[in-house]
Structure 1
Amino acid sequence: MAILLMMLSTFSAMAQQSKLKIRIAKIEIDPTYLTAYQAALAEHAEAAVKVEPGVLTLNAVYDKEHPTHVTVFEIYASEEAYQKHLKTDHFLKYKNGTLKMVKSLQLTDVEPISLQTKFVPEKR
Structure 2
Amino acid sequence: MKNRHLFLTAGIFMMMFLSGYSSASAQQDNRKVRIAKIEVFPEYLAEYRSALAEHAKIAVAVEPGVLALQAVYDKSNPTQVTVLEVYASEEAYQVHLKTPHFLKYKNGTLKMVKSLELVEVAPIAIAIKPILTNKH
Same fold (TM over 0.5): yes
Partner residue, 2:86? 75
Partner residue, 2:116? 105
- Which amino acid is 1:92 matched to? L
Same amino acid, percent of matched pairs = 65
Equivalent pairs counted in the alignment come to 112
Q: Cα–Cα, structure 1 residues 10 and 67, in superposed 2: closer, same or farther, change >3 Å?
A: closer
Unaligned runs of 5+ residues in structure 2 are: 1-19
Partner residue, 1:92? 103
Q: State whether residues 20 and 77 of structure 1, in contact with CA within 8 Å, keep that contact through their aligned partners in structure 2.
A: yes
Of 83-92 and 110-119, deviating more is 110-119
In structure 2, C-alpha distance between the alignment counterparts of 1:73 and 1:51, rounded to whole Å = 18
Find out whether 1:47 has 2:94 as its counterpart: no
How far does the alpha carbon of each residue in 1:83-108 deviate from its partner, in whole angstroms, 9 at most, with x for none?
00000000000000000000000001
Q: Which structure's CA Rg is the greater one?
A: 1
- Which amino acid is 1:27 matched to? I
- Which amino acid is 1:50 matched to? A
In structure 2, C-alpha distance between the alignment counterparts of 1:80 and 1:31, rounded to whole Å = 34
Q: State whether residues 55 and 82 of structure 1, in contact with CA within 8 Å, keep that contact through their aligned partners in structure 2.
A: yes
Unaligned runs of 5+ residues in structure 1 are: 1-8
So what's the TM-score if we normalise by structure 1?
A: 0.81
SS at match of 2:85: strand
